[in-house]
Amino acid sequence: MRLDIAQRHGDGLERTGPDGEGRTTGMTMVATSTAGARAADAGPGPGRAEDARLDVAGAAVLRAQRCFADCADAAALAEELVAQAHQAGHQRVLLLHTVARSRHRELEVVAARGDLLLVPGSRLVGTDLPRMTPSAVVELVPGDVRAPRLAVWGSALPGAAPLEVLAAAGGAAWRALTAAAQERAARTELASTELLLSGALRLAGLGEWSWDPVAGVVHLDGRLREMLQVPAGAPDPDLASWRGQIHPDDRGPFTGVEDPAAHAGTSAPYPFRVTLADGQVKTFLGMSVPLGSAVHTEVQGLVLDVSSGDRSTGELVRLAQCDSLTGLANRAVLDVRLAEALEVAAPGRAVALVLLDLDRFKLVNDTLGHQVGDALLRQVAVRLEEAAPAGSTLARLGGDEFVLMVPGVDRPESAAVMAHNLIRRLRAPLLLPGLSEPLVCTSSAGIAVGWEGSSDELFRSADMALYRAKDAGRDRCAVFDSAMRDDARAAHDAEHRVRRALRTDGLRVVWQPIVDLRDDRLVAAEALVRLQDPVEGLMQPSSFVDTAEDTGLIVDVDTWVLQEVLRQLREWRMSGSTMQVSFNVSGKTLEHPSFAHRLAHSVESTGASGASLLAEVTERTLIDLSSTTRASLGELHSIGARVGLDDFGTGYSSLSYLDRFPLAFLKIDMSFVRPLGQTARADAVVQALISLAHAHGMVVTAEGVETELQAKTLRDMGCDRAQGWLFGRPVAAELLTGLPR
Ligand code: C2E
Ligand code: MG
Ligand code: MG
């Protein structure tokens, strides 16, 4: 179904007077459908089938594109709309209008054929609207409250033929429509959820009870009444008699139910026995949770009869509480035990939560298959169980995430010793079925120790510690401390700042001169990014680049910097300068499949010269060299850009990867440059580096040159270029002087 709706000013109907006459303001189009007429034959009232049908119509609600008020030929437009309505399966079009009477004549020709009904818009607002039930509403211009919107509804007037109405409405009429539609949608959703739920309960053979402290009774549903052999017509029991039915040894989970708000609930299933009226003792499996708002809370419980059937109660309880792969406790059980442990924890008797995660488990699954992965998880579970202290709970949350919860811990150090022990045990080679070689799998752990606060907080803290352990190189554990929370908050703030800067043009580029050491002439400049924050002012990369790396935002940052680099390069070219420009490109950026391609395109479209570009990459990028990165570097190469290694000396400081990718230049990090001219050893190392780089045909640039002594030493060693405060700090482009020509 496709229909174009006639309309114009956004607030049309609201401006319509009680008679809707004489104003060229609003027009609304309505289509009555053949489907609607058929449904009307089938039976009165807006039943489920009709609702569904109306909702189908609602889903097809369309775009308002036409304007009757301003069109030259209203009759032609009406004809067009009628034709479209027919095509879409509608019987006829109802035009709810607030249009000047003078234009009615034009429309009456079409109306006379019976294809078009003219109805004053005011009638819709004043009379019919409250009795109509909207079935769907669609916003035409999201967020613009004045813009006309469409509604689809069926008339609920007794005896009236149900109409499917497509209408543009505004202002008060719109608000009334939306409110009614939302209410109905909510009611329908609730009803269907309830239906589904009761169906599911019936299918699963579950009985349901709920304790409402206001009513003072335990409501038992029909199924539970059957299970407990409650005589027909017997009233719902009060709490005391409900509990009285339960075997005295099994009443534990039912304590504290009186106060639903305080009842922590036991979402982990528990078994309980009940002696029935005929004397037989039946075993049930139950679980209960507090439900409701701050004002009114009830306890709701589900009950399964496990007395009969193939499985023993013990087996069923085990199934409900255990992780099926490893037999360890599952999340539900851990949650309950953790909440219980925290309840009785105190300083000196705190709860330790150890989150343990296998390092690179995904690789095992991907390369050796899921069966080996599963076998590994089972063996890990066995090893952890052997090492878990008495009274602790060991659970698997899914995947390779294990948790050890230990109550009664005196200090974080004790928990760290425990975690170390677990990691050490897991490190020992494992023999797995189907593998000829033993497998070594390391793991990382995050530890949080607490005696107040919620389970959630403890989990979050342990998670932060785990992240720290992974970040520090895996195969280790980290204990949560408040600095981690501060770091996490700082990273969060930094992320927010970078996002905002990208959105609001808040990034800047400054340029640091690079000189030729033979004559100290400016030959190139390195583009360094800055963030202009509305609160913090100009920020250095150290406060946001790491976060940008972690979140992947660095791709956008680098892309932005590069556009600026190309723009500046072009400006320098136009002024006759031969300046080269150096820029930093993160491994993540090179890993982005379209980066290099876009760069090549930009170079071409800005008319900049690729040969003047120096791309600085880090050792990490070359060590992790993936095929995408290699392709990106190749693309840089093909536009004439030179690729070089930045910060040499801060990472692995090995030139072994030079064979992996041809590098045009090497930048020696300032940590090597600082001691130059002061110790013979430092001088010897740098001399060797320069010779080695030259032997590979690379141009060598020394970074962080601050003193004349360093510059002289480097010059004597044959270093080609230098960058550092001695020659100039990073500045705005227009402040660079002595541009090369
Ligand atoms: P880098 O690429 O090694 O840049 C050189 C850094 O050393 C710059 O710091 C510069 O201001 C500083 N520096 C230069 N000469 C001296 C000196 O004589 N003494 C001292 N103490 N420092 C000097 P900055 O601007 O803070 O940049 C830090 C790092 O941030 C850069 O190190 C680079 O790794 C990264 N970075 C900067 N801009 C970008 C960018 O656009 N993209 C990416 N991915 N990283 C960038
Ligand atoms: Mg650099
Ligand atoms: Mg550097």
Domain segments of the chain as ranges: 14-182, 205-321, 331-480, 500-736
The amino acid that residue 584 corresponds to is N
Rounded to whole angstroms, the Cα distance separating 589 from 731 reads 25
Rounded to whole angstroms, the Cα distance separating 466 from 9 reads 58
H/E run at residue 462:
helix 455-471
Rounded to whole angstroms, the Cα distance separating 176 from 708 reads 79
Same fold? 14-182, 205-321: yes
CATH 3.40.50.1820 correct for 205-321: no
- CB of 731 closer than 6 angstroms to any ligand 1 atom: no
Rounded to whole angstroms, the Cα distance separating 114 from 68 reads 19
Which residue, by CA, sits nearest to atom 15 of ligand 1?
724
For the beta carbon of residue 180, count every other beta carbon within 10 angstroms: 19
Which residue, by CA, sits nearest to atom 19 of ligand 1?
704
Neighbours of ion ligand 2 (CB under 5 A): 584, 616, 646
What is residue 584's predicted lDDT score, i.e. its pLDDT? 97
Rounded to whole angstroms, the Cα distance separating 71 from 396 reads 68
What is residue 322's predicted lDDT score, i.e. its pLDDT? 79
What is residue 731's predicted lDDT score, i.e. its pLDDT? 96
Angle, vertex CA 297, rays to CA 294 and CA 299, nearest 5:
145
**617 Cα to the center of ligand 3, angstroms:** 9
Number of residues assigned to the chain = 741
Say if residue 25 is exposed, middle or buried (CB neighbours under 10 Å; 0-12, 13-18, 19+). buried
- CB of 439 closer than 6 angstroms to any ligand 1 atom: no
Give the nearest ligand 1 atom to 528 CA.
38
- CB of 704 closer than 6 angstroms to any ligand 1 atom: yes
Angle, vertex CA 274, rays to CA 273 and CA 276, nearest 5:
145
Classify domain 14-182 at the CATH class level: alpha beta
CATH 3.40.120.10 correct for 331-480: no
- CB of 528 closer than 6 angstroms to any ligand 1 atom: yes
Among the listed residues 28, 193, 189, 173, the one whose alpha carbon sits nearest the alpha carbon of residue 99? 28
What is residue 556's predicted lDDT score, i.e. its pLDDT? 95
For the beta carbon of residue 368, count every other beta carbon within 10 angstroms: 16
**535 Cα to the center of ligand 2, angstroms:** 27
What is residue 557's predicted lDDT score, i.e. its pLDDT? 96
With contact defined as beta carbons under 8 Å apart, do 124 and 169 qualify?
Answer: yes
Helix (H) and strand (E) counts in the chain: 25, 27
What is residue 102's predicted lDDT score, i.e. its pLDDT? 54
- Which of 545, 549, 589 has most ligand 1 atoms within 8 Å of CB, for mutation? 545
What is residue 231's predicted lDDT score, i.e. its pLDDT? 83
With contact defined as beta carbons under 8 Å apart, do 500 and 486 qualify?
Answer: no
**Ligand sitting nearest the alpha carbon of 562:** 1
- What is the DSSP secondary structure assignment for residue 252, as one 8-state letter? G
Which residue, by CA, sits nearest to atom 30 of ligand 1?
541
500-736 fold: TIM Barrel (3.20.20)
What is residue 263's predicted lDDT score, i.e. its pLDDT? 58
Rounded to whole angstroms, the Cα distance separating 110 from 113 reads 6
Strand order in the sheet with 90-98: 26-33, 90-98, 116-120
Rounded to whole angstroms, the Cα distance separating 305 from 505 reads 64
What is residue 602's predicted lDDT score, i.e. its pLDDT? 86
- CB of 728 closer than 6 angstroms to any ligand 1 atom: no
Rounded to whole angstroms, the Cα distance separating 351 from 411 reads 9
Question: What residues form DSSP beta bridges with 297?
Answer: 292
- Which of 584, 705, 721, 726 has most ligand 1 atoms within 8 Å of CB, for mutation? 584
**Ligand sitting nearest the alpha carbon of 673:** 1
What is residue 112's predicted lDDT score, i.e. its pLDDT? 60
Question: Running along the chain, 741 residues long, what does each successive block of 10 average in pLDDT?
Answer: 28 27 34 34 37 34 39 66 55 43 58 52 37 35 35 33 35 49 61 65 74 84 86 86 84 71 59 82 78 68 70 59 84 87 92 95 89 92 92 92 95 93 93 86 95 91 94 93 88 94 96 97 97 93 94 94 94 94 96 85 82 93 86 90 90 67 92 92 90 91 97 97 97 93 89
Which pTM does this prediction carry? 0.55
What is residue 56's predicted lDDT score, i.e. its pLDDT? 31
- CB of 541 closer than 6 angstroms to any ligand 1 atom: yes
What is residue 241's predicted lDDT score, i.e. its pLDDT? 85
**631 Cα to the center of ligand 3, angstroms:** 23
What is residue 249's predicted lDDT score, i.e. its pLDDT? 79
Long-range Cβ contact pairs of 652-659 (< 8 A, separation 24 or more): 652/619, 652/623, 653/619, 654/619, 655/692, 655/693, 655/696, 657/619, 657/622, 657/623, 657/625, 658/696
Which residue, by CA, sits nearest to atom 37 of ligand 1?
528
Which residue, by CA, sits nearest to atom 28 of ligand 1?
541
Neighbours of ion ligand 3 (CB under 5 A): 646-647, 703
Mind spelling out the 3-state secondary structure of 596-630?
Answer: HHHHHHHHHHHCCCHHHEEEEECHHHHHCCCHHHH
What is residue 314's predicted lDDT score, i.e. its pLDDT? 60
- CB of 647 closer than 6 angstroms to any ligand 1 atom: yes
Q: Which residues contact 81 (CB under 8 A, 6 or more apart)?
A: 3, 4, 6, 29, 66, 93
- CB of 342 closer than 6 angstroms to any ligand 1 atom: no
- CB of 538 closer than 6 angstroms to any ligand 1 atom: no
- CB of 373 closer than 6 angstroms to any ligand 1 atom: no
